[in-house]
Each structure stands twice: as structure tokens, then as C-alpha cells.
């Protein structure tokens, strides 16, 4: 299938229509942003690597019975996906406390909580993607209680599967962000991407950060870290 009209540009991807109204082509860019767009840059070949990582992870999730928007990888930077209406929510899972939760609540970075922590944020650049709860989401019309319940159920399954998958490759899945959408049949599908842009991934042996924190914190070796993740997943 070929790209038709340009539909939308996000921070890391572009979306194009296709001849089939139920499908879109998602193009992965090298652009990188952090701190709600305050820091801007580019990571060499990131789009190519992240297209591959998302294709690989979404294929494995589909094999485990988790429905995703992903259909097929078309070339280096493009993938064919089912068209969905995205819930304007970022669903965050934390297996280890760090990042914004450490800052907000004063919890020491690297603390392992007894439970798995789920958060939702309202996808809204103007307000800096604020943390909200279910009641806010329903009041704002972002999702229904029933949809949120389904989203959390799927999210926990995704976390169980990904935690084990990364663990086998010597990587700790610290936390990650995912997004969901609804297709034309009203089915809830995992959408967007799962990549080192959207996950915190630490090497089990050394604790080395193999994710976008290398860009956020100017640690260098960003492209190498992303390639390392892809290599281990492909092994």
C-alpha cells in the first residue's frame, strides 16, 4: 500500500492516509524531543531503529493475543497500521520508581515498589500532559470507565509480557508509556509505538541506561544504545 495524503505530524512520527480508509501509513522520523518539546534534537537513524523495534514488539504482542494497530513493516521507516481514533491519554506503567514520579513524590530513584504503578496523563501539549485520574478522564470525555477498565487490563498484560521478554535479554523494563485507540469496529487496540523513546530500559548487569534518558540527560551514545536494544531483541 502507498502513502496518499499527509494527515498529521507528531514529535517523532508522521501519519499518511492510504487508498483504504481503514489503514494509515506511519513514518518514523529521527527527531527527538524532551521535556514537552523544550529540548529538541535528532538521533541518527532513530526512525529506522524504532520502526524495527515497534514492528518486532507489536508482532510478538499480537502472537500473545494482544490486539495492536500494527499490520506490517513496509520499508525502513514506514509501517502499515489499522486506522484508530487515539484516546488522548498516555498510559504509564512503573515497575521501578524514577523520572517524574521520583521528582513529584520525593521517592528515591530506583526504588522497587510492592505493586505495579499505573498512571494516566492527559495528552495535551498546552497543559504539559498533566497527570490525571480516571474521574478526570471521564469528566473530560477522554474515555469511559468501562474503556479505562479494559485499557488497564490490557496494559497489565502488556507489562507482564514485556517485562519477561526484556528480562531474558538482560534488560530491566523500568517504566514505559503506551497509547490506545479505537478502530472503526469500536475495538480497543494498542497503538503508537513501544521503543527506547517511550520506555526506560536498564542493563541488568551494569545499570547502564539504554533509552531516551541518554538524550534527556546528555549522556551520549544514544544511537548505540537504541541499536543495542534492537540487537538483543533480535537475538
Q: Interaction with ligand C5P in 127-156: which residues (CB under 6 A)?
A: 129
Element (H, E) at 97: none
Please report how close the Cβ of residue 101 comes to ligand C5P at its closest, in angstroms. Answer: 6
Nearer to ligand C5P, 19 or 162 (CB): 162
Is the torsion defined by CA of 85, 67, 186, 73 positive or negative? positive
Please report how close the Cβ of residue 98 comes to ligand C5P at its closest, in angstroms. Answer: 6
Is 54 a residue that touches ligand C5P (CB under 6 A)? Answer: no
Nearer to ligand C5P, 27 or 200 (CB): 200
Please report how close the Cβ of residue 200 comes to ligand C5P at its closest, in angstroms. Answer: 4
DSSP H helices, the chain, are 46-63, 99-105, 134-139, 145-168, 213-216, 222-234
Number of residues in the chain: 235
Q: In 3D, which of 206, 177, 162 has the Cα closest to residue 87?
A: 177
Q: Residue of minimal CB distance from ligand C5P?
A: 99
CB contact at 8 A, 204 and 189: no
Nearer to ligand C5P, 106 or 186 (CB): 106
Question: Rg of the chain over CA atoms, in angstroms?
Answer: 17
Of 89, 92, 171, 210, the one binding ligand C5P (CB under 6 A) is 92
Nearer to ligand C5P, 46 or 177 (CB): 177
Strand arrangement, sheet containing 70-73: 6-9, 13-17, 23-28, 78-82, 70-73
Nearer to ligand C5P, 82 or 192 (CB): 192
Chain contacts with ligand C5P (rule: CB under 6 A): 90, 92, 99-101, 129, 175-177, 198-200, 212
Amino acid at each position: 500500500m502507498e502513502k496518499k495524503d499527509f494527515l498529521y505530524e507528531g514529535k517523532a512520527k508522521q501519519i499518511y492516509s492510504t487508498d483504504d480508509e481503514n489503514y494509515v501509513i506511519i513514518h518514523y522520523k529521527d527527531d527527538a524531543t524532551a521535556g514537552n518539546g523544550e529540548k529538541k534534537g535528532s538521533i541518527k537513524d532513530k526512525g529506522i531503529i524504532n520502526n524495527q523495534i515497534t514492528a518486532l514488539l507489536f508482532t510478538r504482542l499480537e502472537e500473545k493475543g494482544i490486539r495492536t494497530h500494527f499490520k506490517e513493516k513496509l520499508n525502513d521507516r514506514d509501517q502499515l497500521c489499522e486506522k484508530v481514533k487515539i484516546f488522548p491519554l498516555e498510559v504509564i506503567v512503573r515497575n521501578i520508581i524514577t523520572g517524574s514520579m521520583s521528582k513529584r513524590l520525593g521517592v528515591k530513584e530506583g526504588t522497587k515498589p510492592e505493586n505495579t504503578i499505573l498512571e494516566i496523563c492527559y495528552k495535551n501539549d498546552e497543559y504539559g500532559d498533566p497527570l490525571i485520574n480516571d474521574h478526570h478522564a471521564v469528566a473530560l470525555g477522554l474515555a469511559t470507565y468501562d474503556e479505562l477498565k479494559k485499557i488497564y487490563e490490557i496494559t497489565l498484560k502488556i507489562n507482564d509480557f514485556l517485562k519477561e521478554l526484556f528480562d531474558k535479554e538482560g534488560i530491566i523494563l523500568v517504566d514505559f508509556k503506551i497509547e490506545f485507540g479505537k478502530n472503526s469496529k469500536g475495538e480497543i487496540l494498542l497503538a503508537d509505538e513501544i521503543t527506547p523513546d517511550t520506555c526506560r530500559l536498564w542493563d541488568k548487569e551494569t545499570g547502564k541506561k539504554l533509552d531516551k534518558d541518554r538524550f534527556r540527560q546528555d549522556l551520549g551514545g544514544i544511537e548505540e544504545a537504541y541499536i543495542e536494544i534492537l540487537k538483543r531483541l533480535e537475538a
